[in-house]
Structure 1
Amino acid sequence: MAELARSLVPKPSLDTILQEVTTAAVDLIPGVDTAGILLLERGGKFSSVATTSDLPHQLDTLQVTFNEGPCVQAALSDTVVRTDDFRLETRWPQYSPAVVEIGVLSGLSFKLYTADRTAGALNLFGFAPNEWSADAETVGTILAAHAASAIITTQARSQLNAALLSRDRIGQAKGIIMERFGVDAVRAFSMLKQLSQEGNVKLTDIAQRVIDSGPA
């Protein structure tokens, strides 16, 4: 009964966990005035999530537009990217002047190890120049690891649910074919695979078409 009670306790959603991470960054790291998480997907799509204000999304948009900046660099390559003063920053000739004009003068970004198709970074910004300490980097690294773990777990759960749904669809389609053509399960599955290969269509999509066609 105790195990059942624990299993019924609602688990925090991914959005809740990521929001807690960015809020903690502002609360725990001196010099951080706003924070957010940038997720980059293949094809150039991006999203700003768990922002503590509207500013991180604005900064993410600038970086994606210019294709340069600490958040993009952290998401795609470096583990930690720090800027003590954007007025003196030369690595990003378009982005740095733009953020200074907005009023952001310092930043600290941490790579999120997410998945093959998604890159991410935890991004912290300050309205004043700041010599980021080793403690700031340590706390930020821990928070980034927590965020990445939540993202990976959610992705794995989503993939598992998709796999289970695909299995159910294929099983249902096999049953329809077995009844319609009087064949066994092995032959029914072979027929589904053949249709998939000949039509260059995913097996689950072929299964759904069979299901939609209904029983014989």
Structure 2
Amino acid sequence: MTGVGGVDDADGTAGLLSLQFAGLTRGLLAAGSVAEVLRRVVDAALRVVPAADVVSVTLRDPDGGFHTPVATDPVADQLDELQYEFGEGPCVEAAKPEGPAYALSDHLAAEPRWPRFGAAAAEHGFGSVFAVALLPDDRPATLTGALNVYSYGGGLTAADLDAALLLATHASLALAATRAVDFADLKVAQLSRAIETRDIIGQAKGILMQRRGIDADAAYAVLRDTSQRLNIKLFEIAETLATRREELG
């Protein structure tokens, strides 16, 4: 683990964050459902954590399993699923009731704690990850989870970590205030989104494979690299290619 430093206020960063968090608090408390709270949390993370490229939330099911109800990009779903499959990784650790307050790695390609996940995340182009626990209740937890921040570059700053920790605290309080937790609804929404995402990405990969004479892995790499270069979500790149294939030639 790596310690968390303070936020440098020399250029007014702390004041700006205070304003953003004040607005976020009002928005979270006004949210009508857990799903809405979580969506606002991941969107806010992209704004307040400068190094964040994709963000997701892990929730722990009553049976001890894990799922990802919201993410800012389909690649975050894939990275989370790898952790659930391997049984290792920062979001799995932080989402457990007995887990650490946060888990961090700045060198995923050679991370000894999570060798399988670290190598897989590096293959997707990610260098750093930070997961911080969501603990909305101090009683035997009915809902625990983690806020997961993935960065293509290495070296999350102290300000990045502080912002993510503050955001997770706000999210935990908002979740505690949202009593109607329906895991079934969250998982149905996740399943529908996952099916749509896989279908669109599969179509886009098929188009690239046909047009360029490449295999599925190479086609995915083209989508990923284009997403990073243009700073556009991978799903949006795939959707554009799949729905406007004739216009794009």
Q: Which band: TM-score by shorter chain?
A: 0.5 to 0.7
- Of the two, which has the highest radius of gyration? 1
1:105 aligns with 2:120: no
Percent identity between matched residues is 30
Instruction: Provide the C-alpha distance between the structure 1 equivalents of 2:145 and 2:161, rounded to a whole number of angstroms.
Output: 17
Alignment partner, residue 121 of structure 1: 146
The AA in structure 1 aligned to 2:37 is I
- Specify every segment of 5 or more residues in structure 2 that has no aligned partner in the other structure, as ranges: 1-28, 183-249
Alignment partner, residue 27 of structure 1: 47
Instruction: Provide the C-alpha distance between the structure 1 equivalents of 2:110 and 2:65, rounded to a whole number of angstroms.
Output: 30
Alignment of 1:80-99 (within 5 A): 80-99=102-121
The AA in structure 2 aligned to 1:53 is D
SS of the residue 1:149 aligns to: helix
Tell me which of the two structures has the higher relative contact order, counting C-alpha pairs closer than 8 angstroms and 6 or more residues apart.
Answer: 2
Alignment partner, residue 154 of structure 1: 178
TM-score scaled to structure 1, two decimals?
0.63
SS of the residue 1:118 aligns to: coil
- Specify every segment of 5 or more residues in structure 1 that has no aligned partner in the other structure, as ranges: 1-9, 160-216
Q: Please provide the CA RMSD for this pair.
A: 2.1
Q: Please state how far the C-alpha of 1:126 moved relative to its aligned partner.
A: 0.8
Instruction: Provide the C-alpha distance between the structure 2 equivalents of 1:136 and 1:100, rounded to a whole number of angstroms.
Output: 20
The AA in structure 1 aligned to 2:177 is T
**Cα distance per residue 1:52-96 (max 9 Å; x no partner):** 111221111111111100111111211111111201211012111
SS of the residue 2:129 aligns to: strand
The AA in structure 2 aligned to 1:84 is D
The AA in structure 2 aligned to 1:100 is A
Q: Please state how far the C-alpha of 1:17 moved relative to its aligned partner.
A: 2.5
1:12 aligns with 2:31: yes
The AA in structure 1 aligned to 2:60 is L
Give every structure 1 segment of 4 or more consecutive aligned residues whose post-TM-superposition deviation is greater than 4 Å.
Answer: none
**Cα distance per residue 1:78-136 (max 9 Å; x no partner):** 1111111201211012111111112222111100103513320000001121x222211
Alignment of 1:56-205 (within 5 A): 56-76=76-96, 77-115=99-137, 116-129=141-154, 131-155=155-179, 157=180
Q: Please state how far the C-alpha of 1:158 moved relative to its aligned partner.
A: 5.8
For these two proteins, the number of residue pairs brought into alignment is: 148
**Cα distance per residue 1:122-180 (max 9 Å; x no partner):** 00001121x2222112111111111112222223x569xxxxxxxxxxxxxxxxxxxxx
The AA in structure 1 aligned to 2:131 is S
